Every structure is written in C-alpha cells, then in structure tokens.
Structure 1
Amino acid sequence: MVRYVDPGTVEWVESGGGPLIAVPETVLPFWAGADGDETASDYDRACEIEGYVGLLPVGDSAALVLGDEPASTAYLPEHGTFVRWCAADSEAELLAGVPDALATAVWDDEVRWNVPGTVVLFDPAWPGSETERTEHVRVVLKPGAYAVRAAQVQPGPETWLGLVQLRRLPTG
C-alpha cells in the first residue's frame, strides 16, 4: 500500500495497469488472478468489466471490480466510499474535495452487492492467496446487501476523482 502523508492517514492501493478488485476475505483462495489454465483467467475477466464498477462471481460470493482506469484508490469509511485519484496536485487537495464531490456527483446506475463481511482491495493480477505479498487494504464491512454506485467528479479546476460509494441496504 502507498501512503502519501503521515502513516495511518489514508492507505492507497495501486495496480500494475489494470482495474482493482475488492474480494470478500472468505473467498480469497478462489481468486486465481492472472494464473490458471483456463482460456480466460480471473484477471482477464476483471479486465472485461466495462464502466466504473461491476461484479464477478468468486466462489459462493462476488467481487467488486473497480474498472475504467488504473487509479490509486483508498477507502474512506466515514463516507462509505472508495476514492480513486484521477488528478490532483496533492493528496490533501484530493481529500479536501471529497465532500463536495459526494454532494454534486451524478451517479451511474447502482448494482447490488451481497457481502459476507470484510473485503480485500488489491490488484486482480495477484492470486487472492498471495495478497499479503502485494499492496492491499482490508475494508471492514458488515455482512449484508449493499447498493454500489459510481461517478467521476471534478471538485476543483485541476482535481478529478472517481467515487464508488457503498450504501448498506436494510435487512428484511
């Protein structure tokens, strides 16, 4: 993981050039990454996702693919949002723009993601069993269904960011 300011402030994950993926911890061993004998690896499947977000089956669950472009990504639990750094002069500038970006975002259609609990955000080229060897961030989520929506926002003249917001749906 990459840290741009003081340790513990915000942890960023970067990919080697493709999308990022959030896989539930319970099914990490089932994610093969770019490995495998199949005609299309798990990584290939992740790269085929069009748009900002999409879901892929993994074991008895699903992973959330953060697509469109390789951008440093952090999870801000206070906003329930993955923030993707598209353009900004500094981390402070980018993070300062998040509240306005959330308030003015024009959101794409939502997808429904059923989550068994904590997920791990990492480069999907890696096998899930090897995430400890690469940049990753654990995102603690309560089990349940989430509405996931995405947007690209320009909160300042030279600041662009992607937002992927998770909203827990009521049970029942």
Structure 2
Amino acid sequence: MVRYAEPGAVEWVESGGGPLIAIPETVLPFWAGADGDETASDYDRACEVDGSVGLLPVGDSAALVLGDEPASTAYLPDHGVFVRWCAADSEAELLARVPAALATAVWEREVRWKVPGAVVLFDSAWPGPETGRTEHLRVALEPGAYAVRAAQVQPGPETWLGLVQLERLPHPE
C-alpha cells in the first residue's frame, strides 16, 4: 500500500480502501470487520454509511464511521478533531492550515455520539480484536456525549482536508 502520510509530527492511520472507524475500546471484541457468516458484514455496514460521518451500533455502544473517502487520518487532541489528508505538499503544510480550516469550515449536519471512554481508530475491514496487527490509533476521550460534525475544507491553493470535530457536551443537570 502506498503511504501518503509519511511519519512525522503526528500518527496517521490509513485504510486499504474502505472507511476508517473509531470504536470504543470496551466494544472492540464485537466488531467482526469483513469477517463473519452474516450476509452483510460489519465492514459492509460501515461502507453503507452515507456522508462524511455516521454511527453504527456495536455491542452496547456505537462506532463512528469516517466515510466519504479513505483518506489518511490523524487525531489532533488540542483541536478535538480528526484531520483527513486529502491533498497537501507535506504534513507540515497540512497541519499549519488546520487552524484556518477550522475557522472557515462549513459544517455538515451534526450527530451525537456517546462513548464510555477511549476509542480506537482503524480500517473497518479489520476485526476489532486484531487491531494490534494493523495500523491503529488510540484516542483518549472522556466518557460522555459528543457532538460530532464534519467538513471538507480547502484552506490553501494546493491543500484540501477533511475535518471531523468532536465537541464534548456538558453533563445534563
């Protein structure tokens, strides 16, 4: 597989062509990926998500599917955002454009995602228990509800990126 995001300032995850998925660690054993005896595998369900983001039930929780295109993806905790590398001359160029991209993004419809804690981002074709054998990224999240929104942004003449922002919602009183 060709690597578009060379090792650098942040850790990038790529897929073999399908969507990336962020699954709470607590329910990783329930994700079968492309394996399984069912007519529609978990991977097939992930591929059916329409748009930039969507939620799929997994165990007693939900997985966040990063749809649209299988772009190299990193998580920037300082911004609470997954950054999807669509086009840029370098990692430095892409990361330097993130603040401007966040400021000018036209966000798609928001979804609400409740997580019990940390999630693991990986290629949705892999079974959850085997994520240690493939590219993956552990993202430490506080338990609770998050507003998730996505945008495609062109913050520079040769730079395009996708954003999936996670905003922690306040606890209900």
TM-score, structure 1 normalization: 0.96
Q: Aligned partners of 2:168 and 2:6: how far apart in 1?
A: 29
Q: Aligned partners of 2:166 and 2:88: how far apart in 1?
A: 23
- How many residue pairs are counted as aligned between the two chains? 169
Percent identical: 84
| 1:115 alignment counterpart | 115
Matches within 5 A, 1:88-167: 88-167=88-167
| 2:47 alignment counterpart | 47
Q: Aligned partners of 2:23 and 2:112: how far apart in 1?
A: 15
Choose the corresponding residue for 2:6, options 4, 7, 12: 4
Deviation at 1:5, TM superposition (A): 4.3
Q: Aligned partners of 1:169 and 1:139: how far apart in 2?
A: 17
- Deviations 1:81-123, CA, capped at 9 Å, x for gaps: 0000000010000000000000000000100000000000000
- C-alpha RMSD over aligned residues: 0.9
| 2:85 alignment counterpart | 85
Q: Aligned partners of 2:115 and 2:104: how far apart in 1?
A: 27
| Pairing 1:169–2:169 present | yes
| 2:63 alignment counterpart | 63
Q: Aligned partners of 1:165 and 1:66: how far apart in 2?
A: 11
Q: Aligned partners of 1:27 and 1:5: how far apart in 2?
A: 29
Q: Aligned partners of 1:120 and 1:15: how far apart in 2?
A: 14
Supply the AA of the counterpart residue of 1:113. Answer: W
Q: Aligned partners of 2:17 and 2:143: how far apart in 1?
A: 30
3-state SS of the aligned residue for 2:65? strand
Supply the AA of the counterpart residue of 1:81. Answer: V
3-state SS of the aligned residue for 1:94? helix
Q: Aligned partners of 1:13 and 1:78: how far apart in 2?
A: 18
3-state SS of the aligned residue for 1:29? helix
Supply the AA of the counterpart residue of 2:75. Answer: Y
Deviation at 1:77, TM superposition (A): 0.1
Deviation at 1:58, TM superposition (A): 0.1
Q: Aligned partners of 1:84 and 1:42: how far apart in 2?
A: 22
Supply the AA of the counterpart residue of 2:6. Answer: Y
| Pairing 1:33–2:39 present | no
Supply the AA of the counterpart residue of 1:19. Answer: P
